[in-house]
Structure 1
Amino acid sequence: MPRLPRPPLRRAARSRTDGLTQVVEPETPNVESVEADGLRWFNIERPRQIDRAWLEEHFDFHPLDYEDVFSRNQRPKVDEYDGYLFVVLHFPVYDKRVNRLNAAELDIFVGPDFLITLPNEALAPLQYVFDRCQNNEDVREDMFSKGAGYLLYKVVDACVDASFPMLRKMGLKLERLEQAIFDEEANREIVRDLSNAKQEIINFRKIVRPQRAALRDLERTKRYVTGELDIYFDDINDASERVWDMLENYREVIEGLETTNESVLSHRLNDSIRVLTAFSVIMLPLTLIASVLGMNVGVPGQGSIHAFWITIAVMLGVLVGMIWWFRDRGWL
């Protein structure tokens, strides 16, 4: 059975400069905690080796779990141990620095009277729930009074629901791309925008796909998800399936937009080629007349100014006739 600590917790160490000598304060675990009704929630954002030492000192978790926490290649899963659950989940996070969708890993230890969350990077929904529990006594009592299973549900549900605003923004982006496909001025950038949108959908699907099985396993777990909590975790699965369905629809939409854009580009290219071909054919008779009269042999009317103007008139007549014929046919 894990041992719950009682000593006060402090944030990560800071360094300060005292005169010309730099004084480095001892590094301490970056552990935040909140407690109510005999249940404690520990949140350790971006865990480091000193945080691992803190966990090993106060809890009897399996060594493989610690390796999974500090591993970068862990898949979503639910592992049951004697006295606790170890849950690994992934959630999409948009990195504004590189304009890319990345997967944030959230490792969770769940026991009868404790919950430990270890996100490998900042998760706004998780921090929002934690701050509410810290700052609002009524919220804290409501979440903690129903046990560790209910608190786990609130954490996972908040992180899953955070996907929907991202999906709505993705949908609005696809709508703008659909309108931009038929805008000639924006056509130069449309191919790159379509590629970026498709990459976002692919990254989102890579995050959500393996998570669906883990959430189903979590719902079937009877250790801390029992009785009335089944319906809560079933709701999380429904939300996850809605996310997946929206991603499937977006994938079909982006593929359709790519096909439509290729058709539009092909149509515009055909129009350009058709116009250039028409002008080439129109100029062909004029080139033929000029070539015949320009041969280094005697031709009728050679040396006559009247023959020159007659030739110009014939060429103009042929030009007007060809243009009228092409327009009548709809080629111009």
Structure 2
Amino acid sequence: MPSLPRSPFGRRSRAVVEAQPDATEPRVELVEAPGLRWINIERPRTIDMAWLEEHFDFHPLDYEDVRSRNQRPKVDEYDDYLFIVLHFPRYDKRVSRLNAAEVDIFVGPDFLITLPNEPLQPIEYLFERCRTNEDIREDIFAKGPGYLLYKIVDDSVDASFPMLAKMGNKLERIEEDIFEGKGEEVVRDISNVKQEIINFRKVVRPQRAAFRDLERNKARYIAEDLDIYFEDIIDASERVWDMLENYKEVVEGLEATNESALAHRTNETFRVLTAISIIFLPLTLIASIFGMNVRVPGEGSIHAFWVIMVVMLAVVVGVALFFRRRRWL
């Protein structure tokens, strides 16, 4: 199994951030306190990976997984460290779509390395708080790498709840639009929400097994009295999944309700048109009879014209009243 070399970073209680905007220099961010250091490399490039390989002797397959863009969530255990791959939902405003953001994590006895392939606000926010607030940094880092790992994962999982709340609000607006007669307009909205739910489920489903593996393999890096924290992550993940299951049923119900409403309105339209056609059918028959090129009673009489008009009006009123009584109109 691979062994880790002595850290090139000194033991300092203050926060340190190394960020190089130059493309020829590694873009490495570091926060450390006595006994623990957190290294964050966002969107690792080739030069960043070279820096990581130079300073840490991780397994080559792990480096290959970091470079890969199609890794499933998993937890690999080694003698000296854990390698964790997790996915979290991230809304991409450029394409107006919810995608999966991958974060690769190395956890050892005195270090934690995060390598997100996309900007993840919970990780950025926690890193910045640890960097700028010494009290928060000392409080989190003093509990070891396991607790820091818990904070990173827990904050990232909790970030799903605001997204789910917005999704729930969309479903409520869609329901209101359906019953306000906007069925045709909400078809696209229902399709968009269904796609979001499907993408969200793709992210969360494989993650559940990874969290259970993480809960089983975290013993070396967290004190026994902190076991409940990782159970809290599993609980939060299950709540996210339950909400997605509920939203899936709701959106399917809304889709069926909208289709029923559209079909009902279509049937109403056809019923009215059919009733109008039947009402005017006797008028067409009368007009056809008296319009034939043969002699008919009253031909050439102005009084006959008005008699026919009265009869036609009476037929219209009589048929309309009949339909009204039968509640066909």
The two structures share one fold, judged by TM-score above 0.5: yes
Q: How many aligned residue pairs are there?
A: 320
Q: Does 1:135 align with 2:160?
A: no
3-state SS of paired residue (2:48)? helix
| TM-score between both structures, scaled by the size of structure 1 | 0.94
Identical columns (%): 71
Match of 2:153, as an amino acid?
V
Q: CA RMSD in A?
A: 1.3
Which digits, 9 at most, give the CA deviation of each residue in 1:22-58, with x for residues without a partner?
xxxx611111000112210000000010010000100
Instruction: Provide the C-alpha distance between the structure 2 equivalents of 1:9 and 1:28, rounded to a whole number of angstroms.
Output: 14
The structure 1 residue matched to 2:33, chosen from 36, 53, 60, is 36
The CA deviation at 1:226 is 5.0
Residue in 2 aligned with 1:266?
Answer: 263
Give the counterpart letter for 2:4 in structure 1: P
Taking the TM superposition and a 5 Å limit, the aligned residue runs for 1:168-247 are: 168-184=165-181, 186-221=182-217, 222-247=219-244
Report deviation, 1:70: 1.2
2:33 corresponds to which letter in structure 1? A
Letter in 1 for 2:245: E
Structure 1 spans left out of the alignment, 5+ residues:
15-25
Structure 2 residue matching 1:72: 3-state secondary structure? coil
The letter for the 1-side match of 2:171 is L
What letter corresponds to residue 33 of structure 1 in structure 2? L
1:101 aligned residue (98, 102, 108): 98
- Counterpart amino acid of 1:6? F
Matched, 1:309 2:306: yes
1 CA distance for matches of 2:92 and 2:17? 30
Query: SS state of the match for residue 223, structure 1?
Result: helix
How far has the Cα of 1:296 moved from its partner? 1.3
Matched, 1:12 2:8: no
SS state at 2:100 partner: strand
CA distance in 2, matches of 1:319, 1:89: 73
Q: Is the 8 A contact 1:83 1:111 kept in 2?
A: yes
CA distance in structure 2 between the aligned counterparts of 1:50 and 1:229, rounded to whole angstroms = 37
Partner deviation per Cα, 1:111-151 (whole Å, 9 max, x = no partner): 00000000001000001110110001010001111111111
Opposite residue 214 of structure 2, the aligned amino acid is: L
8 A Cα contact 2:75 2:84, kept in partner: yes
What are the Cα deviations for residues 259-279 of structure 1, in whole angstroms up to 9, with x where unaligned? 100110011001100000000
Counterpart code for 1:115: L
Q: Is the 8 A contact 2:145 2:222 kept in 1?
A: no
Taking the TM superposition and a 5 Å limit, the aligned residue runs for 1:23-102 are 27-102=24-99
> How far did 1:244 drift?
0.4
CA contact (8 A) 1:10 1:28 kept: no
Cα deviations by residue, 1:178-237 (Å, 9 ceiling, x for unpaired): 1111122x3332000000001100100000000000000000013324512321100100
Kept in 1: contact 2:18–2:30 (CA 8 A): no
Cα pair 2:107 2:113 within 8 Å, conserved: yes
Does residue 282 (structure 1) correspond to residue 279 (structure 2)? The answer is: yes
State the Cα distance separating 1:5 from its structure 2 match: 2.2
Q: Is the 8 A contact 1:219 1:225 kept in 2?
A: no
1:205/1:244 contact within 8 Å kept: yes
Contact preservation (8 Å) 2:183, 2:261: no
Query: Equivalent residue for 1:23?
Result: none
Matched, 1:2 2:10: no
State the Cα distance separating 1:12 from its structure 2 match. 3.3
| TM-score normalised over the length of structure 2 | 0.95
Write out per-residue CA displacement over residues 57-101 of structure 1, whole angstroms, 9 at most, x where no aligned residue: 000001111111111110000001121100000000011111100
Change (3 A) 1:9 1:178: closer
Q: Which deviates more from structure 2 when the two are superposed, residues 238-247 or residues 187-196?
A: 187-196
Q: Which runs of 5+ in 2 are unaligned?
A: 11-15
Name the counterpart of 1:124. Answer: 121
